Amino acid sequence: MTLEHRIADVEERLKRACERSGRTRDDMNIIAVTKYVSVASTMDVIRAGLVHVGENRWQNAQEKWHAARDLAENEGLGAAHQAIWHFIGSLQTNKVKEVVGRFSYIHSLDRVSLAAAIDKKAADLGIIVPCFLQVNVSGEDSKQGLAPEELTAFVKELSRFAHIKIEGLMTMAPYELEPEQTRPVFRGLRQLRDELNQQSATNEPVTGLSMGMSNDFEVAVEEGATWLRLGTILVGKEEE
């Protein structure tokens, strides 16, 4: 399948998921996860108009990040067609200085030491970084993120970091052969967000829900996802 076909296929499935759940397509964004593909394929993704691009490791992303910047200059891409980078993987504190300022969103904030590093770099740059707090809703040992019961205290601690904006919550569901099985995880993340807002835990309401991947995005949409992180199904997967 070509990229155009994959985009059309995902859009069709999104449309149906929206119809089933009474949602609007405009209320969600797709992040094209390019970690499985080459620099050239990543540029094709951006040219195709998928401007939200997700990578999970700075080492693998840096060449693509620079290529995307060159692409915007060389092909005269207007502001609306320039890549917006999302850091979706676990972020080591020593990589923060590379990532903050280059990636517009961080989806994996899960500890105070990381928040402190992000805040410091953002302060140096004079920017505010929108971050998603990663929650391990499923409780799987292999998954990163805060335990659900740690979330409220963590949000309180973040209030002292003036250069971090809590954009939303993020989770990864376990891989299930039957995607329907992921529903409680996505519903759980939405409930955690709603609880934060009921407690008025933050100055502004928390809106974002970064959830749903190739295998389970339709269920995530039905449960209120606002950012879908799609790799294989959208961008494809290339052999190394």
Ligand X SMILES: *Cc1c(COP(=O)(O)O)cnc(C)c1O
* Sign of the torsion formed by the C-alpha atoms of 53, 58, 61 and 63: positive
Q: What is the largest CA-CA distance in the chain?
A: 49
Interaction of residue 50 with ligand X, rule CB under 6 A: no
The number of residues that bind ligand X (CB under 6 A) is 14
User: What's the distance, Cα to Cα, between the start and end of the chain in Å?
Assistant: 19
56 lines the binding site for ligand X (CB under 6 A): yes
* Shortest Å distance, C-beta 123 to ligand X: 27
Least separation in angstroms between CB 90 and ligand X: 9
Pairing, β 227-230 against β 29-33: parallel
Q: What is the Cα–Cα distance from 134 to 150, expressed in whole angstroms?
A: 11
Q: Is residue 230 near ligand X by the rule CB under 6 A?
A: yes
Provide, rounded to whole angstroms, the least separation between the CB of residue 231 and ligand X: 3
The torsion angle over the Cα atoms of residues 21, 110, 204 and 120, rounded to 10 degrees, is -140
Interface with ligand X includes 163 (CB under 6 A)?
no
How far apart are CB 240 and ligand X at their closest, in Å?
15
Binding mask 183-222 for ligand X (x = CB under 6 A): ------------------------------xxx-------
CB atoms within 10 A of CB 215: 17
AA letter at 76: G
Determine if 134 is a binding residue for ligand X (CB under 6 A): no
**Binds ligand X (CB under 6 A): choice among 7, 17, 35, 50:** 35
154 vs 140: CA distance, rounded Å: 20
Q: Select 7 or 172, whichever has its Cβ closest to ligand X.
A: 172
Q: CB neighbours (10 Å) of residue 198?
A: 9
- Burial class from Cβ neighbours inside 10 Å (0-12, 13-18, 19+) for residue 142 reads exposed
Chosen residue from 17, 18, 42, 89 binding ligand X by CB under 6 A: 89
- Residue of the chain from 7, 10, 17, 33 that contacts ligand X (CB under 6 A): 33
Q: Which of 23, 184, 232, 236 binds ligand X (CB under 6 A)?
A: 232
What is the nearest approach in angstroms of ligand X to the Cβ of residue 81?
Answer: 23
**Chain residues that interact with ligand X, rule: CB under 6 A:** 33, 35, 56, 88-89, 172, 213-215, 229-233
